Structure 1
Amino acid sequence: MTRFLLAAAPVDITALRTELLQPEAGGFCCFEGWVRETNGGRAVFGLDYQAFAPLAVTEGQAILDEARAGFEITDAAAMHRSGSLRVGEIAVWIGVSAPHRDAAFRGCRYIIDEIKRRVPIWKREHYLSGIEKWVAGHDLA
């Protein structure tokens, strides 16, 4: 089952979370990444995400499968937005359920780090000054 969603419109996060409720899970960890109002000292009013959808979904699902195999987690799901977003909107969401909290935390961290590193999604920020700029969605170090 595909648990990685690339969404062009806002998604009901409660529905995603509900799908991860499992009787054997005693812990749940989620991460929400929001569009913030500044980046690098510049005022931001919004951004655009563009993705190569077939590869983004395939790679996103591979990351979730790796997390399930590599951590003692029950289930995991992730959503990344595409298209135009404004300050305050959810850009990325990850949820992980596990028998114990430590595995949920570690699995969640692994998933967001790998999404940022591997999934072909690009970000263009729109600044209040009128300038637009493509920016890295991850650390380049």
Structure 2
Amino acid sequence: MGVQLHSEPFDPGVELARFEATLPVGSVGATASFTGTMRNHNEGDQVCAMTLEHYPGMTEKQLEEVVQDARQQWDIIDALIVHRVGDILPGQPIVLTAVCSAHRAAAFDACRFLMEALKSRATFWKKETLLNGETRWVEKNTPGH
């Protein structure tokens, strides 16, 4: 299924169901997914909003390469990355990664790989708005391990 960027809020459950519905009945033995949600705090400060910018065309290509790398490393049936861009509020999903395979090990491993690889390889810029109205660019990602 591949990669989707959304400028509006999305429902991870709906996206996951849509993804699974594209696969042949009985072909999937395991589905692993991860949903990342915006927190209302970062680096000790209260955060009330975030703007997530990207480079159209390039970001999608980078995410598609991440999916292709997962397909080459694990025996998976299909993979999905859904990612928000634009204005995001605390509690809203930012990212969904999902992998379907015949067996759980490949699904778990490939799903974690998608998330970790996109955090380090895809071109996104995050600008937080703090409770006091100040804005700042997020300079680093939280560690995944």
Normalized against structure 1, the TM-score is what? 0.91
Q: Quick one: which of 64, 68, 90 aligns to 1:65? A: 68
Give yes or no for contact 2:12–2:93 (8 Å, CA) kept in 1.
Answer: no
Structure 1 unaligned regions, length at least 5: none
- Cα distance per residue 1:28-70 (max 9 Å; x no partner): 1111110001111100111000000100101101111111111
Q: How many residues align?
A: 139
Percent of pairs identical after alignment?
A: 27
Aligned counterpart in structure 1 of residue 130 of structure 2, from 127, 132, 135: 127
Read off the aligned partner of 2:80 and give its amino acid letter.
A
| 8 Å CA contact retained: 1:116, 1:137 | no
Question: Counterpart in 2 of 1:6?
Answer: 5
Distance of 1:136 and 1:75 partners within structure 2: 32
RMSD of Structure 2 on Structure 1 (CA): 1.7
Q: Which residue of 2 aligns with 1:40?
A: 43
Number of the residue aligned with 2:77:
74
Q: Give the corresponding residue for 1:17.
A: 16
For structure 2, which runs of at least 5 residues remain unmatched after alignment? none
Q: Which residue of 2 aligns with 1:106?
A: 109
Q: Give the superposition deviation at 1:20.
A: 3.0
Distance 2:85 2:40 in 1: 18
1:97 matches 2:100? yes
CA gap of 1:137–1:81, structure 2 versus 1, over 3 A, is farther
Find the residue that maps to 1:74 and give its secondary structure. Answer: strand
Q: TM-score, normalised by structure 2?
A: 0.88
Instruction: After superposing the two structures, state which structure 1 stretch, 33-42 or 12-21, moved more.
Output: 12-21
In structure 2, the residue matched to 1:136 is 139
Q: 2:90: which partner in 1? A: 87
Whether the aligned pair in 1 keeps the contact of 2:98 and 2:111 (CA below 8 Å) is: yes
Amino acid at match of 2:69: E
